[in-house]
Amino acid sequence: MALAIVSALLLVVDLNSRLLSPLRSFLATIVSPIYVIAESPYRVSQSASATLSTRETLIKENEELRKRNFELAQVTQQFVALREENARLRQLLGSRQRLDSKVLVAELIGVVPSPTTFQVEIDKGSDAGVFVGQAVIDADGLFGQVVEVAQFSSRVMLLVDAAHAVPVQVNRNDFRSIAAGTGRMDRLELEYVPITADIRVGDILVSSGLGGHFPRGYPVGEVTSVVTDPTMTYAQVAARPIAALDRSRHVLLVFDANAQVKDKEEPAAQQARAEAPAEEPQ
């Protein structure tokens, strides 16, 4: 009986506040080795296939990677120029310059095995500076956010979890909405989209950064269906997540630099704005 009351108390406190997160972190530090052991067969088979792969496959893979690297290098060149240009234009507009985000590579060490909860365990924890609420991306797009930090590992909630939502905007026209998880691996739903909104199948959704949690501009999903029923207030818009949620083994933890932007940039921006008219005739 006493245990039932303690359980109920813990449950209510845990669901409604973050008071118990130190306790959770402590327990998570105890149980995280279980995840490491459970994952070890996959690690062994991975390293075995890496050592046993043939010369030909390695050469082929190497060639492909080289090609891809070359392509990406070209894109990066453009990106550098565009970033400079963007920074200059933003300065002319007087808005704050966005700094680059720092990232930390983490590896998946486990998947929470419930068909209704979408969380994974990664191998970086509080000793690497990971914090609750941190955004996680993979090579393709937004992956989720950190919900629990232990000392050497942490828990990431995927953006398709039914308890997850992320502020997004349509890349084509900056229409803002919220992409909520549905508890299905391949589906996000946009909330509160008026039936008159300009949104089409194939539109790319990127994070809008408005919630303050996620950095701006990472791809979140691609609109797969738009149902507009004139008798309803809101359109039903479904999207497919862009990140490889069920395949990525490596993810990136984003240390958002926005928070570090100081107001000292403001005078420079104003100066730039003052000089701007003089440059216009060119």
How far apart are the C-alpha atoms of 51 and 36, rounded to whole Å? 21
C-alpha pair distances (Å), 175 with each of 30, 147, 178, 200, 245: 45, 28, 10, 11, 25
Nearest to 127 by CA among 154, 109, 147: 154
Q: Measured from the CB atom, is 111 or 269 closer to other proteins?
A: 111
Q: How far apart are the first and last CA of the chain?
A: 81
Q: Determine the interface stretch with other proteins among 114-122, 208-216, 252-260, 265-273 (rule: CB under 8 A).
A: 114-122
- Does residue 150 sit in helix, strand or coil? coil
Hey, what amino acid is at 155? R
Q: Measured from the CB atom, is 92 or 112 closer to other proteins?
A: 112
Q: Measured from the CB atom, is 117 or 228 closer to other proteins?
A: 117
Q: Determine the interface stretch with other proteins among 33-41, 49-57, 137-145, 193-201 (rule: CB under 8 A).
A: 33-41
Q: Measured from the CB atom, is 27 or 89 closer to other proteins?
A: 27
140 binds other proteins (CB under 8 A): no
Among 91, 98, 110, 197, binds other proteins (CB under 8 A): 110
Q: Measured from the CB atom, is 111 or 195 closer to other proteins?
A: 111
Nearest to 127 by CA among 104, 102, 108: 104
Residue with tokens 């039932």: 4
Among 48, 162, 274, 276, binds other proteins (CB under 8 A): 162
Number of residues that bind other proteins (CB under 8 A): 42
Among 78, 114, 231, 282, binds other proteins (CB under 8 A): 114
How far apart are the C-alpha atoms of 265 and 94, rounded to whole Å? 10
113 binds other proteins (CB under 8 A): yes
| Neighbour-count burial of 239, counting CB atoms closer than 10 A to its CB (0-12 exposed, 13-18 middle, 19+ buried) | buried
218 binds other proteins (CB under 8 A): no
Instruction: Give per-residue burial for 124-140: e unless 16+ CB within 10 Å, then b.
Output: bbbebebebebbbbbee
Among 122, 137, 143, 148, binds other proteins (CB under 8 A): 148
Question: Where do contacts with other proteins occur on this chain (CB under 8 A)?
Answer: 3-4, 6-11, 13-15, 20, 23-24, 27-28, 30-31, 34-35, 37-39, 42, 110-117, 119, 147-148, 155, 162-163, 183, 185, 246-247
